[in-house]
Amino acid sequence: MIPVVALVGRPNVGKSTLFNCLTKSRNALVSDFPGMTRDRQYGQAHFADHHFIVIDTAGITDDAEGIDKLSIKQSIQAIEEADKVLFIVDGRAGLTNTDLLVAERLRSMNKSITLVVNKTEGLEHDLISADFFRLGFGNPYTISAAHSSGVADLINTIFENFEIAPDIDLENSGIKLAIIGKPNVGKSTLINRMLGEDRVIVYDQPGTTRDSIFIPLERMGKEYTLIDTAGIRRRGKVFEVTEKFSVVKTLQAIETADVVLFVIDARDEVSDQDLRLLGFIIENGKSLVLAVNKWDGMSEYDREKTRTAIDRRLHFVSFARLHFISALHGSGVGNLFESVDEAYAAANKKVSTSKLNDILREAVLAHNPPLIHGRRVKLRYAHTGGHNPPLIIVHGNQVESLTQAYRVYLEHTFQKRLDLVGTPVRVEFKNSENPFRDKKNILTPRQRLKKARLMKHVKK
């Protein structure tokens, strides 16, 4: 069994810094701004010859209201899941009333608690840790998460009685499905509906989610990794530094994902920001599924108006399946997984060279390439160049002169004939090389004599 370690404490004591130190990543956002972490974040830790799962949690306070109260609920759930709890305190700030409150909560949960004094670089460790004996968790461990000082000794000590678990890959298990969209379109509600539990915070306020949260899921015998992301607003509306970091994490999640589930608010129009996000997804060659959320309670007139707007604005992603759902009530959510599986299979589909050449030949016969300076562009043959997304390489003459319209025509033809639903198709063109271009023709003695006779005739 793989041990689970939860990092708990009041805000801004260095829990996310320690999470990044243990996972050797930057998956948790780190800032001097208190309350940066809201959802619980899972990660794999390979540290000091030990393998375990570490959970970063939101800071626990005594006066939390609104969304902060929901964040504390997430932290409590992480503590219940954990085998070991690291109670993090700030060595530079000293013992606070909030630390005493957190200690009382932890004692009532009957968990294995290890007290960790962070931010002790450059300080006298015995003097700093003396005040924290009042918490009643035994001898505290002094570390500096920012400098990785003392962390290895801490991990070795707390895992003395745990067996080293076999290596697993949490984030790469199954199909990685990123939930993308503008703020407040219902991404976190949709993930909670898929999981059947309140795994991520849902709150009626844009910008609730900040980190990109990786969540493993098994459904119908298939494994998935759901990635909840922060909503991306227009660049002109992004002012906070923390939100700018969240945008970067969301774009990284798109690049990491195998399939992107793009969520649109049915009660809001398809904006230019939606189109820019979809353009970024297609440029990265990601498989795509579209979900129009908040479909419940709409009149038939409003639904028809929404369908018309989507058809008009999203015609360039016609290859993607479109679903009308209600994440709050669960209607239509189960069908999303069928489209996700279909898109992932299409992105990794293998096609024979002979079939590609048959499709290319029929496409050229149906619509000939244009004439360039009186000469017809010749497309000779095609073959696969890669998968996820499918890449088709077409060889020919003067291919650099092909118009954009004809390139799009070939992409749509390959997509339709190969039945590649949910994934974009890339077609690259390469000029056929002349094998004799750089070779000099060496004449035989007889050819040289003949050439000399011809030249004399020309001069006369």
The domains located in the chain, with CATH, are 4-158 (3.40.50.300), 175-346 (3.40.50.300), 348-460 (3.30.300.20)
Backbone φ/ψ region at 245: left (φ over 0), alpha (ψ -120 to 50), beta: alpha
Q: The tokens 């069908």 sit on which residue?
A: 335
Residue 64: predicted pLDDT: 47
Residue 198: predicted pLDDT: 58
Using one digit for the tens of pLDDT, what is the confidence trace for 48-81? 677 777 888 877 776 544 434 555 666 777 777 7
Burial 390-402 (b: 16+ CB within 10 A, else e): bebbbbbbbbeeb
55 within 8 A of 78, measured Cβ to Cβ: yes
Residue 364: predicted pLDDT: 92
The strand pair at 41-47 and 426-431 is best described as unpaired
- Give phi and psi for 393, each to the nearest 5: -105, 125
Residue 392: predicted pLDDT: 93
Residue 307: predicted pLDDT: 92
Q: What is the pTM of this model?
A: 0.59
Residue 232 has pLDDT above 80, yes or no: no
Using one digit for the tens of pLDDT, what is the confidence trace for 415-424? 999 999 999 9
Residue 67: predicted pLDDT: 39
Lowest-confidence segment of 73-77, 298-302, 320-324 by average pLDDT: 73-77
Backbone φ/ψ region at 220: left (φ over 0), alpha (ψ -120 to 50), beta: left
Measured between alpha carbons, how far is 117 from 173 in angstroms, rounded to an integer? 34
Residue 26 has pLDDT above 70, yes or no: no
- Percent of the residues in the chain that have a pLDDT greater than 70, as a whole number: 80
